[in-house]
Every structure is written in C-alpha cells, then in structure tokens.
Amino acid sequence: MNNLPQISIVAPLYNEAETFPHLVERLNALMDSMSLTIEIVLIDDGSRDATPTLMRQLALLDARYHCVFLSRNHGHQLALSAGIASARATEALFVIDGDLQDPPELLPDFYREMQQGYDVVYAVRRKRKENVFKKGAYFLFYRLLKSISYVDIPLDSGDFALISRRVADVLIKMPEESRYLRGMRSWVGFQQKGFEYERDERLAGESKYSLKMLFALAYNGIFNFSEFPIKFMTRTGAVAIVISLIYFIITVIKKLFFTEVIEGFTALLFVIILFSGVQLLALGIIGEYVLRIFFQAKNRPLFIVKEEIVNSEYVKADAV
C-alpha cells in the first residue's frame, strides 16, 4: 500500500487467540464490502498465548494489517493509546475491542454519521449482556461520574467510537499517564454524536478486565475528570467542625445552667472513631491525586513498542 489509508480500525488484543480467527474473518469481510481504503491496527498488549504469533503471520501475509507489539502488558487504555499513535489514517480512526463485543460491521453507519459533520461518533450501549451485578455497577458508575464531572461524559458510552484525524492528533498530544480515553475524548470537544447499539457477548474466552482493573479505570475517570472528591472533603470537614461546635455549645450550656455534663466512654469512642475515619478518608483522597502527580512527574514513556509490522515489513520501533 503506497497510499495512506482513509480509515484505521484500532483493536487492542490481550490473550485473544481463540477470538482471533473470527476477528480477522469479520474484518476481512468488512474491508471487502467497503470502497474506502482501510488499515487494521492490531496491538498486542503483552499476550502470553499464541496471539502475537498469529498477528505476525497475518501481518506478513496481508499488508492491510498493521501490527504493533508492546514490550509487556501495559493495560487496555495504554494499548489503545499505542494503536491511536500508530494509526496512519488520513480521515478517521475506528476504535473497537478485539473480543468482538463491539461489532466492526457498524463502521459504515458510524462513517455516514461522521459525513454529516461530526468529529466523534461514539457508541451508546442500549443493552448489556452481562450479569446483574456488573450491569448495576456500570449503570451507577456512569451516572455518578456524569453528575460530578466537569466534562460532559456521555452515559453508557465506552471507548467504541469513530474519531476524526484531528481528534486523534489531539489525543496523541495529551500526556496523561493515568488515562481514561472516553473522558479525554469528551474533553477534546468538537462536534460529537452518540450512536445506539446493542453490545454483543464475548465470542470466546473471558473478560480481561478484572474487578481490580475496573476499579482502577473508575478511579481514573473520577480523579482525572472531577473536582468533587477534594470539594467533598472540604465540605465534610466543614460539617464536622459545625457538629463539633454544636456539641461543645450544648455541653457548655448544660454545665452552666443544668450542672450536667455529657459523660461516657461510648460517646467519646464514637467521636474519636468518627473524626479519625474522616481524616483517613481525606488522606486517602489526597493520596489518589498525589499518586497521579508522582507517576506523571516521572515523565516515563506511556508505553514501549517492542516491534512493529507495517506493509508486511518489520520496522524500527521506538518508545512513545
């Protein structure tokens, strides 16, 4: 391919050997059905199964596949960032998950919406095919984040989106170490539109997002795009002071006018535990911000590319 592609489809992969043949089959069918010039950017996020081998074999045989291999497992958000940084599309990037829960066949619909003048067409999940606990947790989290964020982050929208070249260029320039791409995408601005779809179940294997990783992603969303935690502690401190003053005034009045002072080990223990808990919570919230500053101040590369195959040839890879 001498000419640069119009569209890059970006998909991070981590231990997706079972899904890989189905992904390739559907992507090939999609490319064959469209008149646009398309490249597929696959990112291996330090897989421990046969995924890297399958990617190499495919990329060396089919020049439409552009494969990026990270030096280790950097996590979903950084793997996506690596794909966005590597994509060569001149018009737009189509960001999907490699587990096929995001149907690549929706690209023509997203592209038609973009042709109406939008820079971002993001997917809105109409219905989830997950257990009740996860559905409830996602539902509550998105609404909590929207209510406290200083950026208008759409409800029930993940990373699945078609973004214009200029939006992708802005995202590449954003150096956040603790990345929350859907929030960054909203922060960029420009004209954006939601597209409702029904998310598919995983075709094979298990979700690579553990409960710990989901919490880490949620923390990045809250602490990177909201001032609420700090302001909440300020308000909590103010309320605690007011309660303390009221308690003190009541005690003084009882002593002066009723010769009766509130006594008891239980009351004292309650007050100590309450205010100790408030202080520890405040320290924890401050710690979350300090931790992000600490990692950002190191100024390390966001990810390290071990090798890359473009146009069926190996190219020199550099850390980004």
Domain shared by 96 and 217, yes or no: yes
Domain shared by 51 and 127, yes or no: yes
Q: Which amino acid is at 70?
A: L
Angle 84-130-77 from CA coordinates, rounded to 5° = 20
At 93 the pLDDT is 94
**If you average pLDDT over residues 176-187, what whole number do you get?**
83
Domain shared by 199 and 245, yes or no: no
Name the residue among 174, 281, 149 with its Cα closest to residue 224: 149
Domain shared by 172 and 247, yes or no: no
The enclosing domain of 145 has a CATH number of 3.90.550.10
Greater model confidence, 134 or 199:
199
Domain shared by 151 and 253, yes or no: no
Domain shared by 260 and 140, yes or no: no
For residue 320, being part of any structural domain is answered with no
For residue 104, being part of any structural domain is answered with yes
For residue 202, being part of any structural domain is answered with yes
306 SS3 class: strand
- Other C-beta atoms within 10 Å of 111: how many? 18
For residue 1, being part of any structural domain is answered with no
Domain shared by 214 and 168, yes or no: yes
For residue 2, being part of any structural domain is answered with no
User: Residue 260 is part of which domain span?
Assistant: 228-298
For residue 76, being part of any structural domain is answered with yes
Residues in the chain: 320
- Structurally, the chain folds into a number of domains equal to 2
Name the residue among 153, 151, 13, 148 with its Cα closest to residue 70: 13
Domain shared by 249 and 116, yes or no: no
Q: Tell whether pTM > 0.85.
A: no
- Other C-beta atoms within 10 Å of 256: how many? 8
Do residues 65 and 42 lie in contact, with contact meaning Cβ atoms separated by under 8 Å?
yes
For residue 14, being part of any structural domain is answered with yes
Cross-strand pairs, 149: 226
In the sheet with 38-44, reading across from the earlier edge strand, the strands are 192-198, 120-127, 157-164, 92-95, 7-13, 38-44, 65-70, 305-310, 313-315
Domain shared by 216 and 130, yes or no: yes
- Rg of the chain on CA atoms, in Å: 25
Name the residue among 160, 166, 34, 161 with its Cα closest to residue 108: 34
Share of the chain above pLDDT 90, in %: 12
Share of the chain above pLDDT 70, in %: 82
Domain shared by 54 and 65, yes or no: yes
How would residue 100 be classed by pLDDT, with cut points 50, 70 and 90? confident
Residues 172, 176, 182, 188, CA torsion sign: negative
Per-residue pLDDT at 1 exceeds 50: no
Per-residue pLDDT at 197 exceeds 90: no
How would residue 210 be classed by pLDDT, with cut points 50, 70 and 90? low
Do residues 12 and 45 lie in contact, with contact meaning Cβ atoms separated by under 8 Å?
yes
pLDDT digit string (tens) for 9-53?
999 998 888 888 988 999 999 998 888 888 999 999 888 888 899
pLDDT digit string (tens) for 248-272?
777 777 767 766 655 655 566 666 7
pLDDT digit string (tens) for 47-71?
888 889 999 989 898 889 999 999 8
Domain shared by 139 and 261, yes or no: no
How would residue 318 be classed by pLDDT, with cut points 50, 70 and 90? low
How would residue 308 be classed by pLDDT, with cut points 50, 70 and 90? confident
Q: Identify the H or E element spanning 82.
A: helix 76-86
Per-residue pLDDT at 2 exceeds 50: yes
Domain shared by 216 and 255, yes or no: no
307: Cβ–Cβ under 8 A, 6 or more apart, which residues? 69, 314, 317
